[in-house]
Structure 1
């Protein structure tokens, strides 16, 4: 959905940090303010520093936010802020190859650009050397980045490819066209990626001047979050950044505001493929404005499923397949977007009419106390759950900083808590007006009603003396080594056959992550059941025998819990996130959802329409076409076999012919806990969890026993497939090969490391050639899907690119693979790759959701975390000769199956 196009992060819980006494602060550093455990400091040159220590996870996140985005670009400079983000990673004289350093040090790093800000962030296993190095690079990059013509030339095609990638998404382009129509003068109407003509013709001198103007300490905020030593880190910051002089230039003033919109505006986008969509877009006040809290809650009231007004009117009314809404918190007056995606055959005009009538009739149909209570509960629940994730704090503050002040994040929460129906009603009546709307039509109005005059907010005055909630206590430090994980994990089984593994540990806010896997059926019993199994999984959260769909959602909000269900015919996975005190009640609710689904007819039709709508969108998507066709070749089974990969038409017909009784029959026949695995990680009471599991799943058996469906190695003939996708400006390449190796084979570590060096790490051969040297692709990589049971693992290499660069991309991939096979890797590559891969493995184990998923999978495989330690040990021991030998043993270019899709011109 469109909301996923917006780079927005939620702020996690932050711990208390006692402000360092002025006499103990480094020279040139002053303490500014403390809010809910976040300490703000200021360097003499103007750099703002936020320290957010948290011992609960063994990771550190550093985020550098510059207050510059497309908002600051001048005529002819669109896309300049984003292009500069790319060029900063090209290095400085002192740091010439930062991506290689990221890989060597195991940093998960990236950058992003939006309307009011650009940020650079990295997460890594807590390590003082890496932290000090990254701070040093950021300080060096702030004023010494090359921003050279040679780098601009090679990166230009990468940025163009990223632009082309966005061009493949009708929803993204419609969003851009809507903003461009909505804003007449303000730069919010300009896409962050920029105009192609501006990007392709950018003047290097202007780009360098843009860099020197905005990349200065007084225009930046440095955030360090996670496990680190605050006094020592503050000293390193002072040492690295303090020597940068305060800039003498003055930032250009920004004064442009669009006038009040005085009539409906319309825009139509016509392209090949996809399904009908419509957006209603309204001007709203800046993020700091008191009305913005009401705008946030209005999004939930209108578009939440299933209680939202738009959902009831359009989705339940079978006028659209899905609806959504979001508002953007910006420093100047921003926007709210309400959207609907239609299924094939639904009428766009009727959907638009119903959507506008629902949005703009609040004066006649006022907001109710029940609507506000439900929306506020959901919004606060989402805020609290995000606020409890300490690793994302280093990135999350960027949006509030860009809007005017990092403390706005807390102030908005306070305002939502205190919202009244009158405030929400007033905001809806003021902004959801025909004259303030951009859509695909125009209707003259004799007496238009105007929205409030746009205005800025004095954020400093508004937040003077603000302190927020009391700081939260520190959580325990947890070392995510396999040995420590194994020592802390407790396992038990139920009489039904369910196996459980729980790892109690302190977490920020008492949060616990859990996962429940149900394994269903067998190769014989699941014949012809693929589609019905997928739809059953999609229906499990749509109501139970005793709870309606809305009551299930209300209960989840009441329990401050998130539940995601996914799966198909062979099994279903339930992912959960909640707080310690709510976990037993959540397990009871999940038990009802799994054991007693009601399968309501209206929800069934909604799920079917959404599936058909998504299927129609995929028909012209090169990635989906190529992946589906290659997967069909690696799974050459009969149509009735559960392993069979259907065509688009076969899947459509199966969905259209599916009956509701088939869902009930499948559930009664296959669902049970005899072969189920449950895992939970976080702040939990083991006895309470066991009791809840016993009550919900202890006596649940299915008529059909589970037997794992085998996936033996299949010989696939070498082939090159090409698919035409007209009017899609981003193309896709996939190279696949079935490997006769299982996960615990003696060559596992050597092959894993060989692939990492070839196409997985940030300094891999494919990345260095295709992305960095030739600038042909925004994303190129390779990976091995190791099979845990049979010697049948799948190796894939993929790349996205401009269609006209097909030959260059394919040749570069082939040549780099051939060079690796012929010459092998070097000792330096091996050591850098080994260190990076081990760091990434450690970082993955530090994520509670990942840890819960692995614990559950290990129960099914009959393993524990000693297997992970054995693989780590093998990666530490493997030699260069073994790595090169593994690559040559398994990677056979003459056996490749290649698929390409795109708008390839003669």
Structure 2
């Protein structure tokens, strides 16, 4: 999804920007309109709505501008216009000619997105008054002065087509597009945001400029600032920048199109090369502001969520027709949709899957909703809502969706409605909406007596808000210094009696949030031979129950402890990361210890994990991205088949997955799992002494019986080469390149290499980005990356690009030309200064993320490092000379040493 914005004719835009620049800064006189749970609304005289959500607990600021315009506002011949504007607004204005370069220089994590009802632009950055003031000024300038010019449209067109082709490569994306087009006869929700290729390629620049001028105005926008900032200062800057934009005299056209009630089953079939078979059923549902919509949210979870979801139980566990199930539903401004999806399991029949998918989804008349099902769904939904609300970076982004529905307070009203749901209400919606005549499926089934769903209606949002009573705002959270020195002072480091490393960083957080990371390392090269898939499948089974808890009971216990958990496993390690709350932090740790020490490990769970793994492999086999990445890594593989470090082919991995037995999984757990070679880190609002005692009690006596010896990494000494792989019927292509570097991250040129990489291909103003994406318009995304190994001389330089297959030669030529120019002429002082600033800001922003801090603490424990090393790197970056950076690039970057792979349909 992307956002654009039309502009005023250039002379008028330039005059306006100059006029505004001459107006003296004035203190604001804005008064609050309303307050809800820590968020305050203001209105400028020109109509701009301003929402401030201060949170000093993290030294980051997020700014989001939401325009109430999306793909539904596009007329005949204009599909994709809102998305085109998203691209073009980043082309700048007379006053800001290169926004991306400024974002990169300032270390802003910035982007935009386009959706059905809205367009938004957002940026997150380490709290900094200069960056905040500049970004507000840019947003105000972009609102009325952006270049919406033919010259930019021409260069960006290939990039937009490239993005369109990326979507065309995804079978799930295409199936969803075709389903929506079948569901909606008249409403623009049936048209994908990316637009019709013919409309995008033939867009009339005058119509695009008119679209911009109509919708990119202060009375059609909401500015949201969240995180750490001075509210009065921000309001002053807002008044100075946005406040001088005049209120437009035009009146926006009222939209009134609503599809009639669907009057029978609809069907759509998509046939493409590659991918995994899937089915979905889709139903029309009320708008997000409608009182009934909360029940739709609950029903999505009751049906799809593992392990208790009805579809999961019936299709995945019992009948084994599906490898996985899920849902895709949105709270929209007008009557919307929800989709229930199922990925076909290997060897299963799709007709049988379709029948069962319909039967379960439309089976609520025979099997009414239970109190237990509703309670689980409410708990899970509300837990996720709380996770969003406690994140300053996410609050502003999420409010965009409620703004698009008609009122930002719907964000809270929907929460209250979910809390208040009753079984009778959810049952009524299920039997009204999940009926054959309201269904779209990949087949047609005649029905003698069609049952009609309720007619779609517009919602009077003001009427809905009359009874809304906001909850009390959360308490103000104290600021916390995330400098490396203070992190080292504040972190409590130690070991459990079995040798496990423990790091506790207690700090104030919004909502008393706690982030945890636990890493276990295990085994040795000899004993782990041939165990890659066994270890991976064991990791996937950890969340499927324990010795004393069924899968559902474990999921309920995690929900009760407000735990959101991710698990990753490799042949020699398992990695768990989670979020919870202060009051549940010890219970969360107890549940995670129970999962690790006594997993349930049942045959049915193994079968489910195997089906998902095989389905995922099938989907990757003809995907350009997966093929290119795997081929490049295989070219540097220094290990024989069976070695846990071996880069397996698709065939090898598929054979391994099929060969895994339950006895092998159990034996791996008994032999290798233990905490003596592990690290545990917790960051957030908690009682450190209590958690230290809990960790000792839960994990301090647990050790692996297997000898541990770290797996040493290395690369094969292979000559550089270029490979071309064919992926028929894929409209997008991938370039992936890897160059081995025989050193660790202690290399004396580390700082210089990071800066050189950033200038060459690491940022929004990098050489490759500017040439391949911006100037030539050949790629949706391109760049380089530097992965420095902390333990072994096996680092790697990465180069990549996504592009249309017919542009392969141009992409390769541009890459070689830009690399040759950089090696010959070196970089400029301006590039050096901007790269330094960007890299330093990136590291400071990373230190403000609690999840990142927990991960860093685990690595510090493992490598015996301190955060002072980060400060040393920052100091080294700031002290670099241009000669050092140019020398590091010339000495280490060798394009002729790259394993360069191109994958695509190169006819």
- Which TM bucket (shorter chain)? over 0.9
Out of 795, 798, 809, the position equivalent to 1:796 is 798
Out of 733, 739, 746, the position equivalent to 1:744 is 746
Deviations 1:521-543 (A, max 9, x none): 11222111111111111111111
Out of 416, 419, 424, the position equivalent to 1:417 is 419
Would the alpha carbon gap of residues 117 and 87 (structure 1) be closer, same or farther in structure 2, given more than 3 Å must change? same
Question: 4+ residue runs of structure 1 moved beyond 2 angstroms?
Answer: 25-31, 464-467
Question: Per-residue deviation at 1:894?
Answer: 2.0
- Alpha-carbon separation, structure 2, partners of 1:166 and 1:54: 37
Q: Which residue pairs with 2:343 in the alignment? A: 341
Deviations 1:272-328 (A, max 9, x none): 011110110000000000000000000010001010000011001201100011321
- Alpha-carbon separation, structure 1, partners of 2:140 and 2:475: 32
Q: Which residue pairs with 1:490 in the alignment? A: 492
- Alpha-carbon separation, structure 2, partners of 1:467 and 1:353: 44
Question: Per-residue deviation at 1:395?
Answer: 1.4
Out of 838, 841, 844, the position equivalent to 2:840 is 838
- Alpha-carbon separation, structure 2, partners of 1:420 and 1:701: 48
Q: Does the 8 Å CA contact 2:86/2:112 hold for their aligned counterparts? A: yes
Q: Does the 8 Å CA contact 1:758/1:765 hold for their aligned counterparts? A: yes
Question: Per-residue deviation at 1:713?
Answer: 4.3
- Alpha-carbon separation, structure 2, partners of 1:738 and 1:474: 49
Q: Which residue pairs with 1:245 in the alignment? A: 246
Given the alignment of the two structures, is residue 707 of structure 1 paired with residue 709 of structure 2, yes or no? yes
Q: Does the 8 Å CA contact 1:560/1:578 hold for their aligned counterparts? A: yes
Q: Which residue pairs with 1:852 in the alignment? A: 854
Q: Does the 8 Å CA contact 2:28/2:235 hold for their aligned counterparts? A: no
**3-state secondary structure, aligned to 2:322:** coil
Question: Per-residue deviation at 1:346?
Answer: 1.1
**3-state secondary structure, aligned to 1:565:** strand
Q: Which residue pairs with 2:166 in the alignment? A: 165
Q: Which residue pairs with 2:645 in the alignment? A: 643
Matched pairs, number: 884
**3-state secondary structure, aligned to 1:669:** helix
Deviations 1:126-181 (A, max 9, x none): 11111111111111110111101100001111111000111110000000000000
Q: Which residue pairs with 2:480 in the alignment? A: 478
Q: Which residue pairs with 1:402 in the alignment? A: 404
Given the alignment of the two structures, is residue 449 of structure 1 paired with residue 451 of structure 2, yes or no? yes
- Alpha-carbon separation, structure 1, partners of 2:649 and 2:753: 33
- Alpha-carbon separation, structure 2, partners of 1:114 and 1:103: 25
Would the alpha carbon gap of residues 623 and 27 (structure 1) be closer, same or farther in structure 2, given more than 3 Å must change? closer
1:689-838 alignment, distance < 5 Å: 689-838=691-840
Question: Per-residue deviation at 1:712?
Answer: 2.8
- Alpha-carbon separation, structure 2, partners of 1:27 and 1:587: 48
Given the alignment of the two structures, is residue 153 of structure 1 paired with residue 154 of structure 2, yes or no? yes
- Alpha-carbon separation, structure 1, partners of 2:621 and 2:881: 46
**3-state secondary structure, aligned to 1:139:** helix
Q: Which residue pairs with 2:281 in the alignment? A: 280
Deviations 1:319-352 (A, max 9, x none): 1100011321111100010010012321110011
**3-state secondary structure, aligned to 2:58:** coil
Q: Which residue pairs with 2:677 in the alignment? A: 675
- Alpha-carbon separation, structure 1, partners of 2:610 and 2:93: 53
Q: Which residue pairs with 2:305 in the alignment? A: 304
1:227-246 alignment, distance < 5 Å: 227-246=228-247
Out of 350, 353, 359, the position equivalent to 1:351 is 353
Q: Could you tell me the TM-score, scaled by structure 1's length?
A: 0.96
Q: Does the 8 Å CA contact 2:362/2:434 hold for their aligned counterparts? A: yes
Would the alpha carbon gap of residues 6 and 801 (structure 1) be closer, same or farther in structure 2, given more than 3 Å must change? closer
Q: Which residue pairs with 1:258 in the alignment? A: 259
- Alpha-carbon separation, structure 2, partners of 1:903 and 1:66: 38
Given the alignment of the two structures, is residue 539 of structure 1 paired with residue 566 of structure 2, yes or no? no
Q: Which moved more, 1:700-709 or 1:419-428?
A: 700-709
Given the alignment of the two structures, is residue 111 of structure 1 paired with residue 112 of structure 2, yes or no? yes
**3-state secondary structure, aligned to 1:779:** strand
- Alpha-carbon separation, structure 1, partners of 2:291 and 2:468: 15
Q: Which moved more, 1:425-434 or 1:627-636?
A: 627-636
Q: Does the 8 Å CA contact 2:2/2:84 hold for their aligned counterparts? A: no
- Alpha-carbon separation, structure 1, partners of 2:780 and 2:553: 44
**3-state secondary structure, aligned to 2:640:** coil
Question: Per-residue deviation at 1:246?
Answer: 0.6
- Alpha-carbon separation, structure 1, partners of 2:473 and 2:31: 21
Deviations 1:46-86 (A, max 9, x none): 00000111101111100000000001000000000000011
Q: Which moved more, 1:152-161 or 1:521-530?
A: 521-530
- Alpha-carbon separation, structure 1, partners of 2:591 and 2:255: 52
Would the alpha carbon gap of residues 654 and 27 (structure 1) be closer, same or farther in structure 2, given more than 3 Å must change? closer
- Alpha-carbon separation, structure 1, partners of 2:60 and 2:534: 42
Out of 574, 591, 594, the position equivalent to 1:592 is 594
Q: Does the 8 Å CA contact 1:766/1:780 hold for their aligned counterparts? A: yes
1:84-233 alignment, distance < 5 Å: 84-233=85-234
> CA RMSD for the aligned pairs?
1.2
Question: Per-residue deviation at 1:186?
Answer: 0.2
**3-state secondary structure, aligned to 1:573:** strand
Q: Which residue pairs with 1:500 in the alignment? A: 502
